[in-house]
Amino acid sequence: MDAGTGVGSTKALRGVLVPLALAQFICSFAGSNMNVMINDISRDLNTSVQGVQVAITLFLLVMAALMIPGGKLTDRYGRKRCFLAGLVIYGVGAVLSAVSPGLGILILGNSILEGVGTALLIPPVYILTTLLFRDLPSRARAFGIISALGGIGAAAGPLLGGLITSAISWRAAFGFQALVIVVIVLLGLRIQDPVAADPDRPFDIGGAVLSALGLVLLVLGILATDNSLPLALALVCGGLVLVWFVLSTRTKERAGREALVSLSVFRNRMSNLGMVTQNAQWLLLSGVSFVVSAYLQVVRGYDAIETGVIFSATTLGLMGSSLAAERLARRLPQRNLILAGFVITIAGVLLLLFLVPDRVSPWSFVPGLLLIGLGLGTMLTPSVNVVQSSFGEQQQGEISGVSRSVSNLGSSLGTAIAGTILVAGLTATPERSYALAIAVLAVIGGAGLVAALAMPRQAAEPLEPQPS
């Protein structure tokens, strides 16, 4: 079924795009909406800011650690089946989170079950989009909608979460997620998988365990920065496990066996640099979201709705630039859009660094958050498109899993790195800790800009309009 082959097929594709885009929205929403509930959850569940940070980071980490296996499972069990299974697991986790009596159950429902569900359902979103939208302009348009809703979900999470928490409770925010999941399941039933499942396709269980364990150890090491010994042990062990994973994968490929992910996926320079920019983008979004939300609530004493309203600046920025994404992609090289996005985002982060600490007014956050939203909305779509379009249909399961894993790893690292820096001095030296966390995010933004500058020019030209 090709886009543009007829009115009926075009309408059918648009109908398929709705549940896929909504799925990306709700998963991104889940990654950021808890940021405005820090005080409410801490008080209700008798835990600390760090406890809530751990729950948020673990959710993002489980997604990142299992995204590559999740992408690979789509080949064996089918994209639609994995999509629906992931939605069901996610929905159960949302309900469990809504009724959790303590932090442990919240981590089980939100961090584990919602994380596992997301890892199963997100790779099919990108694989189905690539397979169904075959020409570059329609594919870019579809990725633009999905990426925009993902970015808006992450940016609007604090606002919607704040509204729901203030009007009802933080538990209702998880109930909202469960309701949206039900809608997506009903809409997703009409999706037709364009490629038949291959039940005999081998699955590399050992590779899945090694890759997941390596990523988990690395991020847990960052969360343990208040204790140097666990930090060093976790980082070293995580690095060694990932090296073991690479060596094991190479051995399997040389023996003619199918590995979890082919190392050939990492031989494409354009794709590699595109994934580096994706990692930096989501790291910036989640890092800024957690740091500013925690600072507003714990230091400035703002409630969930006040914090969410301030974050609406990021949402508006993302919506504005995302709406123009397709038009910009036709006129400008995708590399240029990514470069411009990083420049604008870094400018916004610097405004948060220099404008905020000396000002009492909460509106001093708005210019920086607005620029961050504009910048991220400008580059999210071209980053996804250059990565996915660098590979053919046979490798879409692999690259989708790897790409989403890299993006979600960025989200978990943003909360872990910037959040840990902030939390470490939140009581004693809050202004200094805030400034240091934001400064680190600015440096990471600079690294993303360098990766964008290194992208090949000829591989990221403007998208040609679709012939009429």
Instruction: For residues 124 and 74, give the distance between their C-alpha atoms in angstroms, rounded to a whole number.
Output: 7
Cα 251 to Cα 110, 243, 256, 262, 278: the distances in Å are: 36, 12, 9, 11, 29
CA of residue 75 relative to chain centroid, distance: 22
| Matching residue, tokens 């989170």 | 97
Looking at residue 135, its pLDDT comes to 66
Instruction: For residues 349 and 439, give the distance between their C-alpha atoms in angstroms, rounded to a whole number.
Output: 8
Looking at residue 463, its pLDDT comes to 44
DSSP letter, residue 362: G
- For residue 381, report the phi and psi dihedrals to the nearest 5 degrees: -65, -50
Instruction: For residues 435 and 433, give the distance between their C-alpha atoms in angstroms, rounded to a whole number.
Output: 5
Instruction: For residues 69 and 261, give the distance between their C-alpha atoms in angstroms, rounded to a whole number.
Output: 9
SS3 4: coil
Cα 447 to Cα 280, 290, 340: the distances in Å are: 8, 20, 14
Looking at residue 357, its pLDDT comes to 61
Looking at residue 344, its pLDDT comes to 95
| Matching residue, tokens 């902030």 | 422
Tokens of 67: 């995204």
Tokens of 61: 């980490």
Q: Report the candidate in 314, 333, 341 with the shortest Cα–Cα distance to residue 448.
A: 341
Instruction: For residues 324 and 69, give the distance between their C-alpha atoms in angstroms, rounded to a whole number.
Output: 34
Domain 7-203+260-453: CATH superfamily, name plus number = MFS general substrate transporter like domains (1.20.1250.20)
Looking at residue 4, its pLDDT comes to 39
Q: Are 117 and 91 in contact (CB under 8 A)?
A: yes
Looking at residue 162, its pLDDT comes to 82
Q: Are 9 and 134 in contact (CB under 8 A)?
A: no
Q: Which residues of 125-135 are buried (b: 16+ CB within 10 A; e: fewer)?
A: bbbbbbbbbee
Q: Report the candidate in 399, 421, 420, 417 with the shortest Cα–Cα distance to residue 409.
A: 417
SS3 343: helix
DSSP letter, residue 260: S
CA geometry: angle 77, 81, 84, nearest 5 deg: 145
In order along its 468 residues, the chain shows pLDDT tens digits of 443 333 345 666 677 888 999 998 998 888 778 877 888 898 899 888 778 878 887 887 888 788 888 878 888 888 889 999 999 999 999 999 999 999 999 999 998 999 999 989 988 888 888 788 776 667 767 877 887 787 778 777 777 888 888 889 889 999 999 999 999 999 989 888 888 777 888 888 888 899 888 888 877 777 665 555 566 777 788 889 989 999 998 999 888 888 888 888 888 888 889 899 999 998 998 889 888 888 888 888 887 778 878 888 888 888 778 777 667 767 778 888 899 999 999 999 999 988 766 666 777 888 999 999 999 888 887 888 788 777 766 666 667 768 877 887 888 788 778 878 887 777 778 888 888 999 999 999 999 999 999 988 765 444 444 443
By CB neighbour count within 10 A (0-12 exposed, 13-18 middle, 19+ buried), where does 175 fall? Answer: middle
Domain regions of the chain by residue span? 7-203+260-453
Looking at residue 280, its pLDDT comes to 93
CA of residue 177 relative to chain centroid, distance: 17
SS3 6: coil
Amino acid at 266: F
DSSP letter, residue 1: -
Q: Report the candidate in 128, 54, 25, 127 with the shortest Cα–Cα distance to residue 402.
A: 127
Instruction: For residues 426 and 290, give the distance between their C-alpha atoms in angstroms, rounded to a whole number.
Output: 13
Looking at residue 458, its pLDDT comes to 62
Looking at residue 466, its pLDDT comes to 42
Q: Are 348 and 369 in contact (CB under 8 A)?
A: yes
DSSP letter, residue 458: T
CB neighbours of residue 230 within 10 Å: 14
- For residue 257, report the phi and psi dihedrals to the nearest 5 degrees: -95, 155
